[in-house]
Chains A and B, each alone.
Chain A
Amino acid sequence: MSAGPDIAAAAPLDAAPTSADRHCFHCGNAVPRGADFGIVIGGVRRAMCCPGCRAVAGMISESGMAAFYEHRTGYSERPTEAPAADEQLRVYDDPAVAATFTDTDEQGLRHARLLLGGVSCAACTWLIEHTLQRIDGVASANVNLQHSRLDIALDPDRVALSSIFARLEALGYRAQPFVAQARRELLDRDYRRNLRRLAVAGLGMMQVGMFAIALHAGDLQGIAAEHQSLMRWVSLVIASFVVLFSARTFFENAWRHLRAGALVMDLPVALAIGLAWLASGWATFSGGGQVYFDSVVMFTFFLLLGRFLEQRVRRRFQLNWYDVESDLPTAVRYRRGDGWVSGPRIGLQSGDVVLVPAGTTLPVDGTVLRGRSSVREDTFNGEQQPRMVGPGDGVFAGTLNLEGGLEVSASGPFSATRLAALQQSVGRASGEKPRLWRLADRVSGWFVLGVLLTTALTALAWSQIAPEKALWISLSVLVISCPCALALATPTALTSAASALRRRGVLVHGENALEALGRADHVVFDKTGSLTRGQLALARIAPLADERPESLAAAGAALQRASRHPVARVFDEVAAAGGFDELTYHIGAGVSGRQQGRQWRMGSAAFCRELAPTLPPAPPQSLYWVALVREAQPLAWFGFTDPVREDAAPLLAELQAGGLGSSILSGDTPARVAELGAQLGIPEALGGLSPEQKLEQLEALQARGKVVAAVGDGLNDGPLLARADASFAVAEATDLARAQADFVIEHGDLGAMGLAWRTARLCRRIVWQNMAWALAYNICAIPLAALGYVPPWAAAIGMSASSLLVVLNSLRLTRSSAT
């Protein structure tokens, strides 16, 4: 395995970047086609070739040593610049190509998933959705901002897929069929583009700044006209380059949204940069007036820096879209004629009879023909307790066959399974996630309006008083009103908060999750695995005979060695009593064995009463009870439960003290959920819910105007996590849950949710402070500028100082322990 001594320096790893994904991240062996045991390390999903590698890598990652991989991935994942972007769009109309990323429903509508490059804010999604929905033949278009993904349903007879691609490109977005690998390359390309812009703006800022100091000094001390002119010309050249190269993104964004009728933060930014540059250029040509090249360039640099930092945090913790289908076995054994053959799961037809050995995942939805076993359906109900199945019972793909081999008659292809429906509802739920508009976006519309109005008034007033000064003074209003601080207020605060949380073991990858969490007024918890440990533990031994509990447990442990039931794992750490033989496992009943000629049984009441008819009923406590008998003598009832996390109660107390409501939504039996709710003081504790019903409950809460945070871990929580305003996945969560959650708690410490909540509140306060400062600065500075008291050097200093203050204020978040 690759844990060799000098892996960290393994430069050859980058030799084959495109094939890296087909190789195991841990050991470098090829990953079998379609088999993916991928796990999340350092916030990124990694392909693993086998469960062994997965376990080792997971251990390394969870013990806080993911830096080892972090170091290595830089080498193995260096992307190639894909030429795919220039491919002709026509290729997407080819049915075979289209089939790889689209599917057709009963009404003949074609559903496609596209990956979008260049989607930078919530308003972009609005723009794309509305533009596409206006095209004749498009039934629906939904952009998932977090994944930069477009889900579109269209009528293939009326509109061609290639025209959708063309339209997206016309809008300024790059579209590709959605596949996980393409997404990463796109992210890397965006990242490099931003870095190039930032680099040019930074170098340009230094140069222009150098000349600006000379010019400002000249303003104060006097300067020869020819020298002033020279420096202005040089500044003009450099600033023009920066504006055209680096600041172009602001113009493009502002224009795109303006055409769609949206006022975004980029608009005042583009206006300030564009007008200051134009006027300064004109001053250079005409030899009069004032130049603001330093402000133009510095402005560009600061804003690009803020945006870059924010994007870097997001890119680093980006999770790939998680495909549940990859959890199903690739190859299955099914009946052909009289024998069993192995073949790919993909090729299964409805009616094929599939053999499912004990301990494996069911590959299909279907009906049991032969065999008896129990299946663990935590995929759908979150529960570890298995369900007994026999001939005639329905079983579902993605559930685990625990006890015995089953022959299952497949009922359809993967896309018709309950698992596929679950994944779809996750996708849909995340698409419908409520959009909490950023404070900055709401403020910016008014801000733009106010600044433009003030500028116009200033120009009007001065054209009456002193026409020759009107242009320069109204321009200085625009420059000094620099929305820089306003634009930096949110990203810097969010970035600081995210990195502070990261250090304390909480990964943040939801776009607006911190803002939403700060406003949350209700929390919904999943039960199993979130509020509880998600593993059975021995809660109580109720002896029925005069024997010591220790020896009873030892006997139980010896018998359970033969069991495949989840209960058996509880006894793994109990020393087994000796002398047991003839251990037999009875599917759906229990275990029997013999010690010194005496028959023992452990299992369900009915199973044990066959041997000991006098076995009394289980104690009334609501635990999972298993009986132990020796010959005709009842020995004990073992009560198992899924223990509550110790940090659940303090967390709930804290949230309740903070004024948040809470409820439990669980797939477990209502009685057990109600008991847990009573124990933790949660009034609303609902059990027996399917993933879809959980989602309905959540939507009902949101419809009442609640901002809802959700905590979950299982596949069945996927839709819930996707739809909640802010969602948490606890450490042992399934990949789907982690991919959907806005926050991933790394160390399984539920208390970290409280930390995240406190940080989010603090972050929200900091954003408010930043905004308040930026606006207060403007309210003081604009009148001064309007009166003509602000020379260019003062404008430059004022702008930098206000931006700096915002950044420093945000940095307080990284130091704060949020207590």
Chain B
Amino acid sequence: MASLYLLIPIALVFCAVAIRLLLWAIDNGQYDDLDKEAWRALMDEEPGDTKGDNREPDEPHR
């Protein structure tokens, strides 16, 4: 079980790095809009979204 004395500190280092990265991402604004990111994958099929749709904006739906 002596390996614990090596593995646990390594786990702690990883944990510290993960926290650091997460805090950086939050400060960077990447988590500012959780709803938006959840929505983004679905945006193409939203009725109000014209992304990926070559129709002219003012041309009526067919």
A789 contacts partner chain B, Cβ-Cβ < 8 Å? no
In Å, the complex CA distance between A66 and B43 comes to 11
A684 contacts partner chain B, Cβ-Cβ < 8 Å? no
In the complex where A67-B46, A71-B40 touch, is A203 in contact with B33 (Cβ < 8 A)?
Answer: no
In the complex where A196-B26, A203-B18 touch, is A71 in contact with B57 (Cβ < 8 A)?
Answer: no
In Å, the complex CA distance between A238 and B15 comes to 10
| B9 nearest in chain A by CB position | A234
Q: A6–B4 contact, CB under 8 A?
A: no
- 8 Å CB contacts to B: which residues of A1-22? 1, 3-9
In Å, the complex CA distance between A71 and B32 comes to 12
In Å, the complex CA distance between A64 and B46 comes to 10
CB distance from B19 to the nearest CB of A (A): 5
CB distance from B32 to the nearest CB of A (A): 6
CB distance from A294 to the nearest CB of B (A): 15
Q: A203–B15 contact, CB under 8 A?
A: yes
Q: A312–B26 contact, CB under 8 A?
A: no
In the complex where A5-B54, A67-B46, A237-B12 touch, is A227 in contact with B1 (Cβ < 8 A)?
Answer: yes
Contacts of B23 in A (CB 8 A): 196, 199-200
B62 contacts partner chain A, Cβ-Cβ < 8 Å? no
Contacts of B18 in A (CB 8 A): 203
In this complex, the interface size class of chain B, counting residues with CB under 8 Å from chain A, is 20 to 34
B60 contacts partner chain A, Cβ-Cβ < 8 Å? no
Contacts of A63 in B (CB 8 A): 48
In Å, the complex CA distance between A237 and B18 comes to 16
Cross-interface CB contact of B50 among A3, A207, A312, cutoff 8 Å? A3
Q: A68–B48 contact, CB under 8 A?
A: yes
Q: A203–B22 contact, CB under 8 A?
A: yes
In this complex, the interface size class of chain A, counting residues with CB under 8 Å from chain B, is 35 or more
| A198 nearest in chain B by CB position | B26
A78 contacts partner chain B, Cβ-Cβ < 8 Å? yes
Q: A71–B8 contact, CB under 8 A?
A: no
Q: B15–A78 contact, CB under 8 A?
A: no
- 8 Å CB contacts to A: which residues of B2-37? 4-5, 8, 11-12, 15, 18-19, 22-23, 26-27, 29, 31-37
In Å, the complex CA distance between A8 and B50 comes to 8
In Å, the complex CA distance between A336 and B27 comes to 55
| B18 nearest in chain A by CB position | A203
In the complex where A65-B46, A207-B11 touch, is A316 in contact with B26 (Cβ < 8 A)?
Answer: no
Offer 29 A-B interface pairs, CB within 8 angstroms, sorted by A: A3-B57, A4-B50, A5-B53, A5-B55, A5-B57, A6-B50, A7-B50, A64-B48, A65-B48, A67-B43, A68-B46, A68-B49, A70-B35, A71-B40, A73-B33, A78-B29, A79-B29, A191-B32, A192-B26, A192-B31, A199-B23, A203-B15, A203-B19, A224-B1, A230-B5, A230-B8, A237-B12, A238-B15, A316-B35
**Chain B contacts to A: CB under 8 angstroms:** 1, 4-5, 8, 11-12, 15, 18-19, 22-23, 26-27, 29, 31-37, 39-40, 43, 46-51, 53-55, 57
CB-CB nearest 8 A-B residue pairs: A65-B48, A68-B48, A74-B36, A74-B33, A8-B51, A3-B57, A199-B22, A67-B46
